[in-house]
Chains A and B, each alone.
Chain A
Amino acid sequence: MLTFAVRRLLLLIPILLGLSILVFLFVRALPGGPETALLGERSTPERIAQVRAAYGLDRPVHEQYLSYMGKVVKLDFGTSIQTQRPVSEEIARRFKATLELTGAAILFAVLVGIPLGFVAGRRPQSWIDNLSTVGSLLGIAIPVFVLGYLLKYVFAIKLGWFETTGRQNVAISTEHPTGFFVLDGIITGDLPAAWDAFKHLVLPAIALGTIPLAIITRITRAAVQEVSNEDFVRTAEAKGMTKSVVTRRHILRNAMLPVVTIIGLQTGLLLSGAILTETVFAFGGLGSFMASSVFTRDFPVIQGGILFIAVVFVLVNLLVDISYGLFDPRVRNA
């Protein structure tokens, strides 16, 4: 198991290196280069030369790359142009919001999707199966920002159950030891603050979690249906094992393999879906920060942010592969 994990980890190194080169070269291949991004189209040659020297843009590309990577491994992504603070600090602070949102979205998708897919898979063609099929179809076709608007209008503006924007009421001043607002409220014992943060979190989490919900439901349904027809399930039933034991030990455990994969892949994808959701709900996470950096042409943030999210995405996929090994001895020993 350990060698499996280490081998997968080693395979990551060329991918991450290639990725960093690609992102780095891309920013430099822009028309006008990063200095145009910094200064805009209208600038004097002297000013451009000054900025090029300040950012080391006048040195050979491979030197620039090596010095950039030398800093990146020390988690130094440069300084944000719009906030004039270290990019790594900005990313770390906002990533917690994105992580809270993504976590809540995946939780919603898993808690609803697996039971729904399971029931639908066990009872094909029943009303609940048909409902889940139509629902998951719609869930995939509705973009997060359209769904976000819909949820916001119905549940926040019309019914007033939840909040429309932000992470917490600005009037609430509470401590944030972890940066996850709901958890912070619970830890500090400030339950009203936790409840308020929860009310801000629900709608964005549902909007973001709907596509993974649709996909998890579909995959669970297909896997349960397939496994239910396997010989070993029939054997177990013929042996006289109770239905709940067969369900738990034979069907569920074997059907969970593809589901775990898809949960992992979706978690990675949510990190980019969160850009749109955070914009709709003004949820101050990494996504909306990246979106605003796009307009200020804050290239250190764009470059660092893409690199950071890609690394997280790759690591999540690695965890999925390793968990695959945990669930399935065949993968582990291959």
Chain B
Amino acid sequence: MSLSQGVEAVESADSSAAGPPEEAAGGLWRDAFRRLRHNPTAILGAALVTIFVLVAIFAPLLAPYDPKVADLSQIRPGDFPGPSREHLLGLDSQGRDELSRIIYGARYSLLIGVVSLAVGATLGVILGLIAGAFGGWVDSLVMRLVDIMLSIPGLLLAIGIAALLGRSLKSVMIAIAVVNVPVFARLLRGSMLAQRRSDYALAARSLGVTRSRIVLQHVFPNSLGPVIVQATLALATAIIDAAGLAFLGLGSPDPSIPEWGRMLAETNSLLATEPLLALWPGLAIVLSVLGFYLLGEALREALDPKLRR
């Protein structure tokens, strides 16, 4: 019940928040925002993302029970109380309220996603900025490092790092952050190279603007568009990766922590008898991922000058 109220609140909040995103932003961003508001895909994506974020923030208010408290007295092997009035999504194998665990799970997903992305993207952007600004051997050195990191498939790299650092939420965040570093470095560098050759950079140079000012005040801000798109899409991937690591047992060592990936893994042996317990965390992962994905794709279209009509 509280969930459906949340949905309405989210949708109205979504439309009322429709103002210019940043005063300092130029025509490109305002244009993009206008296009986003008229794109049903973007609205669906934004709605899913908003619900996800609100559920994560207000988890203590929304969750009917403590997600960590187990009540084994209600559980018999092979006979789990399914959805009921008291427990809308039923109880898990330890007698914990499934709905509360799903709600709190949003917290962990969002926390891991945002922290790992913030760290990874920042480091990547700094590396990309250094490579794009200096060029020459600095560029070659940074890009070879990026090539090496990209030669290990992302999830494998994350598993390796998380495994070697030991089981904890911090290891998962570090692992996903590291995976994101080369992606953002390469993206920003490529975007900056394209901007550096643009007419306005040439114009600024012919006016006698110093190189560092051209790079920092003109080229860099204009190169950020693809980075923001990638950040939205990378959040989707970060949620999947975090769930994947938890699924493999690499998340927090505390089994009472409600991570969606781990909740799914716990139902592996129960799949034949309790398929719903696998459905809820699965659905939660898919919907939150879909939200960031739809929003990212719509943002990409809105910011792409070639697709503007």
Q: Which residues of A contact B (CB under 8 A)?
A: 14-16, 18-19, 22, 26-27, 30, 37, 137-138, 140-143, 145-146, 149-150, 152-153, 157, 268-269, 271-273, 275-276, 279-280, 290-291, 293-295, 297, 299, 302, 306, 309-310, 313-314
Contacts and interface: CB of A to CB of B under 8 A. Distances in A.
B286 A275 contact: no
A272 B153 contact: yes
A14 B271 contact: no
10 contacts: A15-B147, A15-B151, A22-B149, A26-B164, A138-B290, A143-B240, A145-B247, A272-B155, A276-B248, A310-B156
B303 interface: no
Interface string B264-303: 1101100110010010001001100110011000000000
B9 interface: no
Interface residues of B, number: 43
B106 interface: no
Contacts of A146: 264, 282, 285-286
B250 interface: yes
Interface string B142-186: 001101110111111101111111000000000000000000000
A19 B148 contact: yes
Nearest to A306: B160
B243 interface: yes
A314 B275 CA distance: 39
B293 A275 contact: no
B289 A15 contact: no
A-B pairs with the 8 shortest C-beta distances?
A272-B153, A294-B163, A272-B156, A146-B282, A141-B290, A18-B148, A272-B155, A310-B152
B249 interface: yes
B164 A313 contact: no
Nearest to A14: B144
Contacts of B161: 26
B90 interface: no
B247 A294 contact: no
Contacts of B163: 293-294, 297, 302
Contacts of A18: 144-145, 148
B263 to A, nearest CB: 11
Contact of A275 (B148, B159, B294): B159
Which of B156, B161, B247 has most A Cβ within 10 Å? Answer: B156
Interface of B: 144-145, 147-149, 151-157, 159-165, 236, 240, 243-244, 247-250, 261, 264-265, 267-268, 271-272, 275, 278, 282, 285-286, 289-290, 293-294
A141 B236 contact: yes
B98 to A, nearest CB: 16
Contacts of B244: 143, 145, 276
Contact of A152 (B152, B271, B293): B271
Contacts of B159: 272, 275, 290-291, 294
A15 B149 CA distance: 9
Contacts of B148: 15, 18-19, 22
A313 B153 contact: yes
A222 to B, nearest CB: 12
Contacts of A310: 151-153, 156
A27 B164 contact: yes
A180 B161 CA distance: 31
B271 A157 contact: yes
Contacts of B278: 149, 153
A313 B286 contact: no
A241 to B, nearest CB: 30
Contacts of B271: 149, 152-153, 157
A274 B148 CA distance: 21
Contacts of A145: 243-244, 247, 261, 264-265
Given A15-B151, A22-B148, A279 B248 contact: yes
Given A146-B286, A294-B248, 11 more contacts: A15-B148, A137-B290, A145-B247, A145-B264, A146-B285, A272-B153, A272-B156, A275-B248, A276-B155, A294-B162, A302-B160
B144 A302 contact: no
Contacts of B248: 275-276, 279, 291, 294
Contacts of B144: 14-15, 18
A143 B243 contact: yes
Nearest to B155: A272
B268 A141 contact: no
Contact of B250 (A19, A149, A294, A306): A294
Contacts of A275: 155-156, 159, 248
A41 to B, nearest CB: 10
Contact of A306 (B147, B152, B261, B265): B152
Which of A26, A141, A293, A310 has most B Cβ within 10 Å? Answer: A141
B50 to A, nearest CB: 17
B262 to A, nearest CB: 11
A315 B265 CA distance: 33
B152 A313 contact: yes
Contacts of A37: 164
